[in-house]
Chain A
Amino acid sequence: MGVRQTLNVMSEKWLESRIPANSSVRLNRKNIFIFPGLFGFFYLLMTVCLFVLAVNYQNNLLLFLSQCLSSLFLISLFTAYKNFARITVSAQQPQPVYAGETAYLTVKAMGSAHSPKGMLEVGMKNDKNSYYINFDAGESQFAVPIATTTRGKCRLPRVTLRCAYPLGILRCWTHLDFGQELWVYPSPQAADKTFSEHDMSDGNKRNTIPGSDDFFALHPFQPGDPLNKVAWKKVAKGGEWASKVFIRQQSAVTWLDISTLNTDIETSLSMLCWQVNRLSRRQHPFGLKLGDVIIPPAMGKLHEQTCLEALSLYPGSYPK
């Protein structure tokens, strides 16, 4: 395990210096590796055997065949390289997921000056599973699944791309780092425990404050009331002068605080996550207190995202 890890670390360092992180990479000789695969080696071995056979049997046909095979090897080398190079590979930022769910990294591969052929194998660097982008079928992207287990903000591993066009003798591959990070939020867990009352209102109760949004009621007109608030339609009908009163709805603000929960950190975070989701769905403004991190109450998608990110990053029992 130790040797393997050291090798991994060394190879990562070397790859980093050779293929630095970039959101969009154009494949060129700096980041392409090309080498015969196992089939390629057997092919070469066979060519040599045929050559020996040809010489010993003094058979010119066999000789020509072995020479054809070696020149095919040469041609296939350049064809494979030319097909693989100048492909521009980019990846979109993956959407954040909850721990345990599968995140998807959409890898796009396009040829700018040429249309690449064959099938491109895409996969995360140390993952055995492979997925294919079939250029001939017009595909140009694939959403590579990434399994997640723990929460946090993790740097995505390198993506390996392989292609063995045209004859499978030579393989071109590269390990690309798109420099992207994946947010893994804690997996939500329904909280059956209610929060202490001053933090939690169930969101249905609403406080009303004077405002200018909604027509609330009519009061009898008093001299000094602004004329623009007079209910003219009523006056026109011959009624008493009355003023419209407007209110604005304001929900009570909820505070979610991790210190109020008595379970272990991960469960607390999971429960808070569930709460964040629920409150955001109900459009109920809330604030979040995670020890030193205090997120003031607000509403909206961005606020939900900020809170979830804070929950993911909260230092906990799992090492990063």
Chain B
Amino acid sequence: MRSEFESIVEALSDVIIGKPNQLKLAVACMLARGHLLIEDLPGMGKTTLSHALANIFGLSYSRIQFTSDLLPSDMLGVNVFDQQKHAFHFHPGPIFNELVLADEINRASPKTQSALLEAMEENQVSVDGQTRPLPELFFVIATQNPSFQGGTFPLPESQLDRFLMRISLGYPSWDAEKAMLKTTLGRERQNLETIMTGDTLRHYQQAVQHVKTSDAVLNYILNLVNESRGNSTYPQPLSPRASRALLNAAKAWAFIHNRDYVVPEDVQATFVAVAEHRLHTAHQQNTVETSLSQQLLASIDPLAA
């Protein structure tokens, strides 16, 4: 693995103990310019992770707590009337930051959800008829509770598709939780040192795009995607956006591991994170036992022509 990323993962591991794979996936997601969806029970460290990521990359950070009465304007910003100047002045909402944590996205009404997703898609917001661009480096880390509670609005499949990866932190191991308890952090949040600047990140993002992908790897990705389309075991076939997502994630993974070419292992390593939330229908998001993406991976041979 590339040395910078090694140190990044190490630093993150201080905060989220014992989940190196998920941390790597999160970093890969950012390298691939994708948005991340974290699905976890409350208290697993979703906020901690987002905050840590923002610190590590030196990104401006904001947190939007999605409630059922959250208005789009609360998120995007509002034109405020300045009584002195007798003019409207735009107060940017919390979305105008480089790393936005959209906490409990499935609590907000569909209208607010779509406002956020639109911003993610177009990298700009329009308030009162005026469009304002979002920062060049713009990430959304959305979180949702896996349990289906009353009064929530699960993200529909088409919107889930917009998140490059979905990870789940889960309970820490015995040792990890013990170590966490031993730290004297408690409620304070330690601010991590910036290891990589935003500029470097941007530079690396471009480099990821140039990672070599051979025909064999493309065929492998296509085989996986086509199997999901042809086989009736998979209720939601993978879209072309999913293929692109798989490719980008694999490239980022290869980059992290200091390679300038993609191998099938890269695709396999990122596949579950990229594909699982796309394969399920919105109704079945909560069933964790059947891992359709594992099944799909197991059924395709990377060397099949």
Known pairs A90-B230, A232-B79, A232-B88; A212 contacts B281 (CB<8 A): no
Partner of A211, one of B86, B109, B283: B109
Known pairs A23-B230, A23-B231; A210 contacts B69 (CB<8 A): yes
Task: A85 to B78: give the CA distance in the assembly, Å.
Answer: 68
Task: A229 to B232: give the CA distance in the assembly, Å.
Answer: 49
- Complex contact A212–B111 (CB within 8 A): yes
- Complex contact A212–B109 (CB within 8 A): yes
- Complex contact B230–A211 (CB within 8 A): no
Q: Which of A216-271 contact B (CB under 8 A)?
A: 227-229, 232, 235-236, 246, 248
With both chains docked as a complex, state the minimum distance between the C-beta of B25 and any C-beta of chain A, in angstroms. Answer: 29
Known pairs A232-B80, A248-B109; A180 contacts B230 (CB<8 A): no
Q: Is A31 an interface residue (CB 8 A)?
A: no
Residues of the A chain whose Cβ atoms lie less than 8 Å from the Cβ of B79 = 232
Known pairs A232-B80, A236-B81; A212 contacts B112 (CB<8 A): yes
- Complex contact A212–B70 (CB within 8 A): yes
Partner of B232, one of A23, A210, A246: A23
Residues of the B chain whose Cβ atoms lie less than 8 Å from the Cβ of A90 = 230
Known pairs A232-B88, A302-B282; A180 contacts B232 (CB<8 A): yes
Partner of B71, one of A93, A228, A235: A228
Chain B, Cβ-Cβ closest to A178: B232
Q: Which of B136-179 contact A (CB under 8 A)?
A: none
Residues of the B chain whose Cβ atoms lie less than 8 Å from the Cβ of A213 = 109, 111
Q: Which of B47-72 contact A (CB under 8 A)?
A: 68-71
Q: Is B295 an interface residue (CB 8 A)?
A: no
Q: Is B260 an interface residue (CB 8 A)?
A: no
Chain B contributes a number of interface residues (CB within 8 A of A) equal to 21
Partner of B68, one of A23, A180, A212, A228: A212
Chain A, Cβ-Cβ closest to B282: A302
Chain A, Cβ-Cβ closest to B93: A228
With both chains docked as a complex, state the minimum distance between the C-beta of B278 and any C-beta of chain A, in angstroms. Answer: 16
Q: Is A140 an interface residue (CB 8 A)?
A: no
Residues of the A chain whose Cβ atoms lie less than 8 Å from the Cβ of B118 = none
With both chains docked as a complex, state the minimum distance between the C-beta of A231 and any C-beta of chain B, in angstroms. Answer: 10
Chain A 150-175 interface mask (CB, 8 Å, partner B; 1/0): 00000000000000000000000000
Residues of the A chain whose Cβ atoms lie less than 8 Å from the Cβ of B78 = 228
Q: Is A201 an interface residue (CB 8 A)?
A: no
New A-B contacts (20) at CB < 8 Å, excluding given A90-B230, A212-B70 = A23-B230, A23-B231, A23-B232, A93-B232, A210-B69, A211-B68, A211-B69, A211-B109, A212-B68, A212-B69, A212-B71, A212-B109, A212-B111, A212-B112, A227-B80, A228-B78, A232-B79, A232-B88, A302-B283, A303-B283
Can you give 26 contacting A-B residue pairs, CB < 8 Å?
A23-B230, A23-B232, A24-B230, A180-B232, A210-B69, A211-B68, A211-B69, A211-B109, A212-B69, A212-B70, A212-B109, A212-B111, A227-B80, A228-B71, A228-B73, A228-B74, A228-B78, A229-B71, A232-B79, A232-B80, A232-B88, A236-B81, A236-B88, A246-B71, A302-B283, A303-B283
Interface residues of A (CB under 8 A from B): 23-24, 90, 93, 180, 210-213, 227-229, 232, 235-236, 246, 248, 302-303
